[in-house]
Structure 1
Amino acid sequence: MIAPHTGGCRCGAVRFEALAEPHHVSYCHCGDCRRASGAPVSAFVGFLVDQVAFTGKALKMYENGPVTRSFCGICGSPIAYVDERLEDDIYFMLGAMDRPADFEPTLHAYVSEQLPFLHMSDDLPRHLKTSVKRPDGTVP
C-alpha cells in the first residue's frame, strides 16, 4: 500500500483521501456496526484524523453515545465512524475504500456479539470486545 488512499460513497457525492498508511484494519461483529452497515459483520480501516481530507457537500452525521457515524446524505452509503474516546482516530468502512483489497483485516473485534451462523475460517486474533486501546492504555 502506498498513500494516498482514497474512497467515497456509492454516488460520488462524498469523497475522502488519507495521506498516510492505516494504523488499524479489522472486522467488527458488534450489534451497533451490524445495524449501521446492514451486514452481518463490518470491516474498518483506521487512520489518524489529521491525515484525512473530505470533499463534497453531502456528508451527514449520526451520533449515538460516544460514536458518531458518517454517511452520504444522498445515497445513504456508510462512510466512517469516530469515537470520542479515540479522538485522534477515524475508521472508514472497508467497502467505502476505492481499493478495498489493499486492506486485509488483522483481527476480529466484539466476537462476543458475533452471529452464531457466521463462520469465518481464518487464524486472526479474536477479541471478545474492542481491540483498540483507549488513551489511558486500557482495552475495554
Structure 2
Amino acid sequence: MTAPHTGGCRCGAVRFEASAEPHHISYCHCGDCRRASGAPVSAFVGFMADQIALDGKALKTFENGPVTRSFCGICGSPIAYVDERLAGHIYFTLGSMDMPAYFKPTLHAHVREQLPFLHMPDDLPRHLRTSVPRPNGQRPDGTQS
C-alpha cells in the first residue's frame, strides 16, 4: 500500500488523508495517552502536517501542556495529537486509520509507564521515555544531549 492513506472517526464526521508515507509508527505506554484513549497502550502513525488534508467541522481539541489532542465532537473518537515541541508533525491514532493493519509499529515509547500486566512479546526497541527527540535536547532515552 502506498499513499494516500486515509482515516477518520467512527461516525464519519471527521476524515483525513495523508499524501505521503508516515515517518513514525509506534506504541506509547504513557499515562496521558492511556487516559486519552481509554486503552492500556496506544499506537500512533506520524506524518508531516503539510502532507495532511483534514476535513471535519466536528473536530474538537483538548490541550494539556505542549500536547493538543483532537477528537470527534460527535462520536468522541480520538483522532490525533500534535506537540508544540515538534513543529510540523502530527500523530494520528492507529485505530483511526482506514487500513490500520498496514501500519506496523516499530518501537515502544514510555515503557517505564507500561502497565505491569501488559505483555507485548516483540523484539521492538523500547524507550524509557519519548521515542522522538525534542528540540530542548532531550534524547529518546530521556537523557539530555
- Tell me the TM-score normalised to structure 2 length: 0.94
**Aligned to 2:36, what secondary structure does the other structure show?**
helix
**Aligned to 2:85, what secondary structure does the other structure show?**
helix
2:69 is matched with 69
2:93 is matched with 93
Residue 28 (1) aligns with residue 23 (2): no
**Aligned to 1:43, what secondary structure does the other structure show?**
strand
Provide the C-alpha distance between the structure 1 equivalents of 2:107 and 2:136, rounded to a whole number of angstroms.
22
1:46 is matched with 46
Q: Which ranges of structure 2 fall in alignment gaps of 5 or more residues? A: none
**Aligned to 1:101, what secondary structure does the other structure show?**
helix
Provide the C-alpha distance between the structure 2 equivalents of 1:31 and 1:21, rounded to a whole number of angstroms.
28
Provide the C-alpha distance between the structure 1 equivalents of 2:27 and 2:129, rounded to a whole number of angstroms.
12
2:107 is matched with 107
RMSD: 0.9
1:14 is matched with 14
Provide the C-alpha distance between the structure 2 equivalents of 1:96 and 1:116, rounded to a whole number of angstroms.
26
Provide the C-alpha distance between the structure 2 equivalents of 1:42 and 1:77, rounded to a whole number of angstroms.
13
Q: Which ranges of structure 1 fall in alignment gaps of 5 or more residues? A: none
State the identity %: 81
Provide the C-alpha distance between the structure 2 equivalents of 1:44 and 1:25, rounded to a whole number of angstroms.
6
**Aligned to 1:85, what secondary structure does the other structure show?**
coil
Aligned residues: 140
- The residue type equivalent to 1:62 in the other structure is F
- The residue type equivalent to 2:101 in the other structure is A
- The residue type equivalent to 2:27 in the other structure is Y
How far the C-alpha of 1:5 sits from its partner, in A, is 0.3
Provide the C-alpha distance between the structure 1 equivalents of 2:54 and 2:138, rounded to a whole number of angstroms.
31
